[in-house]
A and B are shown apart, each in its own frame.
Chain A
Amino acid sequence: MKYYAEIINENGNIAVDDTILVKDYLSSAGSKILDGYKPLFSAEAVERLENKGYSISGKTNVGEFALDLVGEFSYYNDIKDGDTLKGAASELVKQGKVKAALGVDMNGATRRAAALSDVSFLKPTYGTVSRYGVISCAASGEQLGVYANSADDIAEIMSVIAGNDKKDGTSLPEISYTYNTNEDVNGKKVCIVKELFDKADENTKAKITAFADALKAQNVLVEEISIDIFEVANTAWQILMTAETCNNVSRYDGVKYGHRSENYKNIDELYVNSRTEGFNFLTKAVILYGSEMLSKSRYADCYDKALKVRRVVSDVMNTLFEKYDAILTPVCSKCEYTSYDIKDAFTKVFEESVFTAVPNLIGIPALSTNSVQLMSKAFCESTLLSLAKAVERKGE
């Protein structure tokens, strides 16, 4: 597979995915519609890393606007029928080519990619890492996060990139955050959500059980609970995500930059043909779905209701976090994906997102590690990293 859409420095130690801007280097979010686009500025996270002496290796391939499972539908990818699907950034990290990679978690693709490559990815609390310089799709839930092989490496990179940025109106006021991996896990409480556990295949269930056992060995209390909110939360997030994406990609019209069709006689044809040629099938499906969610006839029943569901889910989860330090769930239903037809992508992604949607919907952190997922209440990334570290230690 092709890991990089654009190589910047072969000796660089941090890879960034193609939805994150690096000044003067091609940045296209895996889409033909942004083919040839070179940004005039770098993402805030990239700047902060460079200022601390890290070096960016290049732009890793992502699925068009990160809407797919793990990055299979990039315009710049060369995946063939029957290939096993892997994420580009997660594989580079797995192979030790880079110390860490930045990815944008919008609909779980980064967390799934980490699970399939057996590395870790932290999607931090919404508002802690600046989204300035991220090719935005679902502004209300996307968040820049970190892939690495260890909890310590994630904590190190997060400590550099997190903190207030005046260029992002959703950035929280805290100037900086510290992340550590040495919280005492003894006596921490973790729950496994039955409804999500049951959706996973046997291999995945085995991973969850193994992770739970490793936690128990460190005196973490692990319980199974039943809570029926993930399906509705996923539906709500898919409504918000598709609507916001439809709106955010509407600026790609062939007028200003990126792909412009050669076939047009007037402005309407310029729009229609550029967008028809520039977006892949999945993005088009998302645009149509999202556009419908915002239409006059659907807004009250779909979009507005999804906003209300977001508040309810937030309340339910916060109540749960009064009792538990973290929730343990699958990241995806299985441990391996093979390539499939893009016309099935919308449904497949929708189904798999049931595991990943809640953190996007309500802004809480989620850590994909050991092919399982841990979620906590907002700002408790260190708890998640410490739990992961405790399991790492056991494996040593």
Chain B
Amino acid sequence: MSDTLVLMEGIEKSFPGVHALSQARFELLSGEVHALVGENGAGKSTLMKILAGIYSKDAGHITFKNRPDVHISSPRAAQNLGISMIHQELNLMPHLTVAQNIFIGREPRRRWNFMVDDKKTNSMALDYLQMLHLELDPRIKVSELTVAKQQMVEIAKALSFNSDVLIMDEPTAALTDTEIDELFGIIRSLRQKGVGIVYISHRLEELKKIADRITVMRDGNYVNTVSAATAPIDQIISMMVGRTIYEAAPELPEANTQPIVLEVKNLNRGRLIKDVNFHLKQGEIVGFAGLMGAGRTEVARAIFGADPVDSGEIYVEGKRVHIHHPCDAVRHGIGYLSEDRKRYGLTLSMDVETNVVLASFRNFLGALGIVKRDKTRIVAQNAVEMLSIRTPSVQQKARNLSGGNQQKIVIAKWLTADTKILIFDEPTRGIDVGAKSEIYKLLNELARQGKGIIMISSELPEILRMSHRVIVMCEGRISGELNIADATQEKIMYFATQRANGGSARADVAAAD
């Protein structure tokens, strides 16, 4: 049962300017869930992309099913060997249907091998969807599914290869708890069939539940492999970061007496936002909790002027403001850090300096609108230093930095723009543990400086650790509000699942107490 399925040894890989992997090793047994952890930039994804045929290795050996030195030249070659990878950024064709996505590249064909057999594609897809207990019409377009459903489509696709090795890169990042449980059920049943599963995740608490062994990587090097059952999480973390972790309790409110910086009244937008009212004080961190699709991001985008609203009033420092466009929001001192920083937060192909001053260019303009490069350079260099952004220089392209450092650039951008109100949407998604604690430290520091902070997060421990006050949303409404002293994961989950017709949530909790 526990034969060695994959053995990677001495793997080397360099990208222009980066030595991504040096002497990396990894071993996977059949019927094993093997977690691969490490900070962003540690080389986990790179190593697995080599195994999946997406990158070619510079040096090293891969033994697959006792075949020494197998050459995996392309994704197709990997798939034919029985190695599939589910990527962190979903790799689907949104315009195609579920079934078409699952069987892309292997469509059942008819006549002359040239016509696609859609009927057969659909019915075969349905088999795999039912294997996952998914009630999904294979004929529906992927663009119409939620992220979680799209992820399930990816898994169904990987299953359809009858793979011996399944690599999952952050599979739970976008899933709700029930969906995660479902996923774990599927992983366990695959394990029983002898499939070897590589599980890349930043959520260490998950690994205890699902993984057999854990391999830790740091800076492109192999660190150690430990048994998931016996290794304490602290030990894993210290292996990952090689330094101690910031673990202070939340600094409790002095915010109570502070003036209100932002007040939102009766905000409405179709079915997405229903009569949302709340306020935010200076120096306060308000955590927005809720399940995926609860409307938290929509509220943030509405306040920021990124989406039009039907009705509602917004007050900044007591004054009514009209925000129709993000530039209005910036003018009123509101900054928004999107959950998808690569798409909405950064211009990846531009350098650190440009990204830092992007929202405040008008402060750096000389005659005829010429940018004062000397000034922007100094500002950017200061920001890099202050937030300890790890980059060779401010001329480095944002694309080449790790997720945590990219997030810091976005923060630097809004600090440079002199914002009073910062909205963080999933600030630590896809960020490793070490960088996470740096981001937390930064958030606390910003609050201490008097910024009002809204933090949207799907990770309850993060909400509980960082917030002064927790607002819970469900189906576009605010379904509950908790002071940090009263807040528990259970209470938040209770409100988060409080559907519209479920009666008065607050009364229920009061009764429950």
Binding between chains A and B:
no
B residues whose Cβ falls under 8 Å from a Cβ of A: none
